[in-house]
Amino acid sequence: MSSFIPSSPTLNPPYDIFTRRILPLLQSVYDEDTAQSLLDRIYAHLAPLLSKSLDEDLGKWSQDNILLITYGDSIRREGETPLVTLGNFLRRYLKDTITGVHILPFCPYSSDDGFAVIDYRAINPELGTWEDVKAIAREFNLMVDLVINHTSSESEWFQQFKQGQKPGCDYFICVDADTDVSQVVRPRNSPLLVRVETPEGEKHIWATFSEDQVDLNFANPDVFMEFVDILLYYVQAGAKYIRLDAIGYLWKELGTPCIHLPQTHALIKVLREILQTLNPQIALITETNVPNRENLSYFGNRNEAHMIYNFSLPPLLLNALLQGKSDHLRTWMMSMPPAPLGCAYFNFTASHDGIGLRPTEGLLTEDEYEQLIATMKQFGGEISMRQQSDGSESPYEINISLFEALKGTVKGEDEWQIQRFLCSQTIMMSLEGIPAFYIHSLLATGNDHQKVAQTGRKRSINRHQWDEAELFAQLEDTTSPQAQVLGELSRLIGIRRQQPAFHPNATQYTLHLKKALFGFWRQSMNRDQSIFSIHNLSDRPKKLPLTELNLVCTDPWCDLIGGTLITDLYQDVVLDPYQSMWITNKFDRLEK
C-alpha cells in the first residue's frame, strides 16, 4: 500500500465524530477488536487529508451537471496517446456541452476491457499517463472506477496467492470443490470456482465473473484497507465521482445468494463516510444491474450511495419506442420514489455494457419481452446469457449500439431512426436525476461486428474505436448521422442546463396521456418554473389537447425545444413522429 503520514487519533478532535459515524458500521461486519483496529488504521490514513467540515454537502449537483461515459481509447490518432486524443476531442466538441467525464478503467488489465485490473495505481501505458488523466480532471469532473469486487489473476496479489506469500495469500476466497454453491446468484455462465495450484496443493477460488477476475475476500480487513488506500489515491488524483463496480457481489456467505448482503451495504456506508471526511463534494455511485427494488436499496437511509444507476430506464425506454406506447414506462415511473435528500438517480440509456434485461423482470409482458429480443437480433444485436441456480441459462443483456437498436420498431426498419434516437435521449435528459451520455450515443455509432469477431466478446459490438480523422470528417459533414445527432443533442443539452426545473432533485410527476405519448411534469426546487416534458413515442403524428396539462392561465408558456409561443391554452398541438416538447412558463433562459 502507498504510505500516508499517520496522525495520532488522540490529537485530532474530529476523531470522535469519525468514531461515532464509522465504528458501528465496522462492528456490523467485523468483530469488535478488528473493527476498532480497522477504524484507527483508516483514520491514520485520512488525518492528513481531512476536510474542514464533516457536514454533508447537499449542493453537489444542479441542472448544469451532464456526464459523458467513454473508454480512454474510444478515439484514436496515430502517433498520439489515446488519453491526449480524448482530451483534445472533449475540448474541441464538448467543452460547452458536458461537465463531467467517466473514463472507464484506465489501469493495466488482463481482460474484460479494463475490468480485470492488474495494478490499481498505474495507468495503462497504451492509454497514456496519470498527467493525461489529471489534465482532463482539471477541466471536467472526473469519474473513476473502483473495481472493488475482484482483481486480475495477473495482479501482484494473486501471484502472491499462488506462491503462498503474504499478503496476497490471505486475500482470496477458497472453497472446497464439492461445496454446494447453487444458491449463488450468477451474472455469467462461467464456472464459479476456479482451480489453482499453490504450494499447499490444489485450491478452488471464487470467481464471480470469469477465471481471470478473481473475487477478493473482504472478510479480511486488510483487503478493505487496501481499497481505502486506493480510494484516497484516486481522490488525490482529482476524482469527483467514485463508481463502485459490481459492488452488489462484494460479500460472500455460503447458503445465501451472495448478492446485496448486509455486510456489503455496511461497507458502502463506510466508504461514503470516508469520502465525506475527505471532500463533501465527492459523490459515490453504485453499479448494480439488478431488478429495480434491489437497486433502490443502495440509497440506504440516505447513508449509502449518493447516486445509483437507473438500470430500469434503458430497456423500458427502448421497449416503449419499439412498441410505440408508454404504458410500462409510465407504470414504472409512477412507482419510482423521489431520490432521498443528498441522493440522485444516474440516468443513462447506453453504456459500455449491454442493455440489461434483469430490470425488466415483472414489468414487461412475455410477448413484449420476446418481441424485444427478436427485434434486437433483427437489427444486428447479440444476446448475452447468465446461468440460473438450476443450471439453465436465461437472457442477461442485449448487446447492440443504441443508435442501431432504434433504427426501426417491432414492425421493422423505417425512416425515423435519427428522430427516434433523439427522442430517447431527450426523455433521458428530462427525467429526475443526472444525465450521462455514452460517447457512442453522442456520436451515433453503429454496431461494430468486426470488433466482435476480433475479440470474441459480444460487448465489443458497442465499444467501437473511432479513427480521429474519420470521426472529424463525419462531424464536419452536416448530412452525416454523427453531425446531426451531436449537433442537436448539444443544442438540447445547452437548453437543459439552464432550466432549474431540470435540477436532479426537482419535483417529477407522471402525466396520464394517450398511450403513444409519454409526459411528465418537472417543477423547480423553488417552484417558480414548470416544464411539461412531452414525447411522441410513435411513428405517426399525435394530437395533444393542452387542456390535459396544468398550464396556469396567468403565466406565459413556450416550447423550449421548438421556440414556439403558446398563446391559446385551449388549443390542440400536434406532435410529429418522435417529436419532443419542453413546455415551460419560464423561457427567458431560452437561447436566442
Amino acid at 198: T
| Number of CB atoms found within 10 A of residue 369's CB | 17
DSSP 123-154: --TTT--HHHHHHHHHHSEEEEEEE-SEEETT
DSSP SS3 for 427: helix
Task: Catalogue the active-site residues.
Answer: 245
Q: Rounded distance, CA 168 to CA 91, Å? A: 42
Assess contact for 505 and 526: CB atoms under 8 A. no
CA 449 from chain center: how many Å? 24
The three cell numbers of residue 396 are 442477461
Q: Rounded distance, CA 536 to CA 326, Å? A: 9
| Cα angle, residue 399 at apex, residues 394 and 405 outer, rounded to 5° | 115
Phi and psi torsions of 13, nearest 5° = -55, -40
Amino acid at 361: E
DSSP 8-state code for residue 210: B
Assess contact for 149 and 208: CB atoms under 8 A. yes
The three cell numbers of residue 139 are 477541466
Q: Rounded distance, CA 84 to CA 468, Å? A: 12
Q: Rounded distance, CA 200 to CA 223, Å? A: 22
Q: Between the CA of residue 401 and those of 62, 105, 455, 463, what are the distances in Å?
A: 29, 20, 17, 9
Q: Rounded distance, CA 214 to CA 173, Å? A: 9
Residue among 275, 266, 262, 258 at smallest CA distance from 206: 258
Q: Rounded distance, CA 528 to CA 423, Å? A: 26
DSSP SS3 for 473: helix
Q: Rounded distance, CA 216 to CA 546, Å? A: 57
